[in-house]
């Protein structure tokens, strides 16, 4: 949704009009109150019909301004506008709840084939149009051309996740090897504990708890480094991550549960 701060969307019915994001309006006009200002775009003077609040960072769209499609039509030749080989538009469609998207897509494709036939037959051209849920755009549209959406590759995330899991597994195996290697140094301690009445289960719990404490300590340090280095990481990746979203209560709970599981996993084998 577009949250209008000032102006009137009804004035967007005029071809030579535009609405600006809050940050772009501030860039152009500073602290000057909104008063139906105008701006020049190439050889046209456009009425600023309104100002809208910047879209949240999680949005796949980064819109600084929006102008009516009528304005584009006036500045583009009729031959090009009516040609079916100009593929630079992405159309957003709001469907009724419960719509059968498979049937709707089939009907749409028949319509496109019928309308585009006079153009594509001569040019040996083909179409394959489809609809995509908005939530799938960010990770499912990285290969699309002419789209202004901010996208990423789902395959890249899977690859990086697998790489992270392998690194974590290697760290666990290293910890197990180091702990096992140090077990000989603790043989006297274990013998004394058994002599004064400690049983096998108690020793297993002791080793498991020690491993969990190490893991929780390392995890806490990692979390602190994560927060400190986030600005550097954002500059490196040219992406914006909100700590309030990443460090939500649910994510922190999952994080510490995983730490405990890792601690048990890493400490169980040396304990045995």
Enter the tokens of residue 37: 């200002």
Which tokens in the block code for residue 176?
């197990």
Between 60-64, 104-108, 194-198, 238-242, the lowest mean confidence (pLDDT) is in 238-242
Residue 207 has pLDDT above 90, yes or no: no
**Residue 62 to residues 6, 17, 23, 71, 138, Cα–Cα distance (Å):** 20, 19, 12, 20, 12
Global pTM value: 0.66
DSSP 10: G
Nearest Cα residue to 62 out of 240, 230, 236: 240
Instruction: Tell me the DSSP string of 74-143.
Output: HTS-HHHHT-TT-----------TT--HHHHHHHHHHHHHHHHHHHHHHHT---------GGGHHHH-TT
pLDDT band at 19 (very low <50, low <70, confident <90, very high): very high
Which band of pLDDT confidence, cut at 50, 70 and 90, is reported for residue 244?
A: confident
CA distance 115 to 154: 34
């Amino acid at each position: 949704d577009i949250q209008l701060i000032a102006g009137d969307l009804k004035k967007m019915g005029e071809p030579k009009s535009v609405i600006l994001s809050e940050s772009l309006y501030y860039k152009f006009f500073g602290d000057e109150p909104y008063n139906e200002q105008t701006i020049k775009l190439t050889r046209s003077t456009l009425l600023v019909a309104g100002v809208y609040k910047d879209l949240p960072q999680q949005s796949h769209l980064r819109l600084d301004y929006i102008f009516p499609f009528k304005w584009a039509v006036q500045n583009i030749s009729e031959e090009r506008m009516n040609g079916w080989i100009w593929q630079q538009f992405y159309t957003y469609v709001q469907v009724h709840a419960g719509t059968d998207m498979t049937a709707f897509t089939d009907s749409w494709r028949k319509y496109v084939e019928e309308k585009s036939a006079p153009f594509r037959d001569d040019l040996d051209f083909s179409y394959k149009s489809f609809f995509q849920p908005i939530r799938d755009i960010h990770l499912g549209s990285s290969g699309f051309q002419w789209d202004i959406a901010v996208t990423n590759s789902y395959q890249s995330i899977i690859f990086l996740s697998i790489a992270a899991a392998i690194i974590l597994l290697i760290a666990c195996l290293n910890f197990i090897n180091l702990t096992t290697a140090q077990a000989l140094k603790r043989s006297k301690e274990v013998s004394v504990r058994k002599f004064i009445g400690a049983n096998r289960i108690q020793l297993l719990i002791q080793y498991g708890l020690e491993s969990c404490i190490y893991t929780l300590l390392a995890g806490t340090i990692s979390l602190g480094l994560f927060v400190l280095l986030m600005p550097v990481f954002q500059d490196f990746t040219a992406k914006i991550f909100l700590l309030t979203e990443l460090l939500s209560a649910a994510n922190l709970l999952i994080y510490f549960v995983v730490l405990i599981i890792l601690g048990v996993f890493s400490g169980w084998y040396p304990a045995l």
